[in-house]
Amino acid sequence: MNELNLKDKIAVVTGGAGVICSTMAKSLAAEGVKTVILDLNQEAADKVAAEIEAEFNTKSIGVSASVLDKASLESALKQIHERLGTIDILVNGAGGNSPAATTKVEKMEGDENPDDTFFGLKIEGFDKVFDLNFKGTLLPSMVFATDMVGKKSGAIVNISSMNSYRPLTKIPAYSAAKSAVNNFTQWLAVHFAKVGIRVNAIAPGFLLTNQNRFLLIDEATGAMTPRGKKIINGTPMERYCVPEEMTGTLLYLASDLSKAVTGIIIPVDAGFSAYSGV
């Protein structure tokens, strides 16, 4: 009854060469799942796949595609069919923020340079971040879930974020996109409920990774920025999370342990979302 039942399943992990998703892919491989490390960066994807095969003796392949390019995802699907088989699990992990969609000031006072505020946001930067996080979840679901409909079984796990519930200052595109990911998770869960595909999400709290290091650590001194300090003060466990802490929730959502669970978003955030700050 409490079996994970994951052995020999096939999982696609988008953004699989990244910090969180490479760890997630490894946790699936440790349970006997054959993994597809799908990433823009072929070399980095191949490296993660090779590490997985060496460490877990489970088939893993690196596939280069963009989650924003449907044709490249379709050609990835073809390659996956030829090399591994049909897909059972999709982890929509590619995502992130960019300095190009980040305001310099948190709250306007009224006398600062407009370029440092909401008014200075470049729409191209906004679009890039919004699309990567939202359309980058939608398009792989559209392409890879076709296999799951065929077998009337499958699990999609979207990677959302803490700022999907309440937006963080400075990063409106990333916040809006992750909020849209939560909404889409529920929408797709309902849409797929009768064809045996479950759709859920994980909302990680704060991890120190490439996408946010520039906001949290002062490059010159290596000290915590005021924003970094605020995060630690706002996190009841008073620390950052680490990628390995996401994997238990992933295995739960990807496996038969959560057979009747669909359309939920689970925070893995060291208590951040529970805390009012007082």
Which residues are designated catalytic? Answer: 174
Q: Could you tell me which residues come within 8 angstroms of residue 191 by beta carbon, excluding any fewer than 6 positions away?
A: none
Q: How many CB atoms lie within 10 A of CB 271?
A: 13
What's the min distance (Å) between Cβ of 60 and ligand NAD?
A: 15
Task: Name which of residues 51 to 80 contact ligand NAD (CB under 6 A).
Answer: 66-68
Find out whether 10 and 58 touch, Cβ atoms under 8 Å: no
Among the listed residues 95, 172, 228, 267, the single contact to ligand NAD using CB under 6 A: 95
Cα 164 off chain centre by: 12
Task: Name which of residues 116 to 145 contact ligand NAD (CB under 6 A).
Answer: 132, 136
What's the min distance (Å) between Cβ of 154 and ligand NAD?
A: 20
Distance (Å, rounded) from C-alpha 136 to C-alpha 255? Answer: 23
242 vs 261, which CB is nearer to ligand NAD? 242
Distance (Å, rounded) from C-alpha 238 to C-alpha 194? Answer: 42
DSSP summary character for residue 114: G
Which pair of tokens denotes residue 66?
Answer: 């963009």
Distance (Å, rounded) from C-alpha 117 to C-alpha 258? Answer: 43
Task: Name which of residues 25 to 54 contact ligand NAD (CB under 6 A).
Answer: 39-41, 44
What's the min distance (Å) between Cβ of 80 and ligand NAD?
A: 15
Residue 270 binding ligand NAD, by CB under 6 A? no
Find out whether 122 and 100 touch, Cβ atoms under 8 Å: yes
What's the min distance (Å) between Cβ of 9 and ligand NAD?
A: 21
Interface with ligand NAD (CB under 6 A), residue total: 29
Amino acid at 198: R
What's the min distance (Å) between Cβ of 109 and ligand NAD?
A: 28
DSSP summary character for residue 200: E
Amino acid at 43: E
Angle at 20 between CA 99 and CA 23, to 5 degrees: 155
What's the min distance (Å) between Cβ of 261 and ligand NAD?
A: 20
- Among 9-17, 78-86, 121-129, 251-259, the segment contacting ligand NAD (CB under 6 A): 9-17
18 vs 154, which CB is nearer to ligand NAD? 18
6 vs 177, which CB is nearer to ligand NAD? 177
Which pair of tokens denotes residue 154?
Answer: 């499958």
30 vs 44, which CB is nearer to ligand NAD? 44
Q: Reading across the β-sheet that carries 197-204, which strands appear in turn?
A: 60-64, 34-39, 10-14, 89-92, 154-159, 197-204, 265-268
Task: Name which of residues 180 to 239 contact ligand NAD (CB under 6 A).
Answer: 204, 206-207, 209-212
Quick one: which of 24, 53, 48, 51 has its CA closest to 37? 48
Q: Give the nearest residue (CB) to ligand NAD.
A: 18
15 vs 228, which CB is nearer to ligand NAD? 15
158 vs 255, which CB is nearer to ligand NAD? 158
Residues that bind ligand NAD (CB under 6 A): 14-15, 17-21, 39-41, 44, 66-68, 93-96, 132, 136, 159, 161, 204, 206-207, 209-212
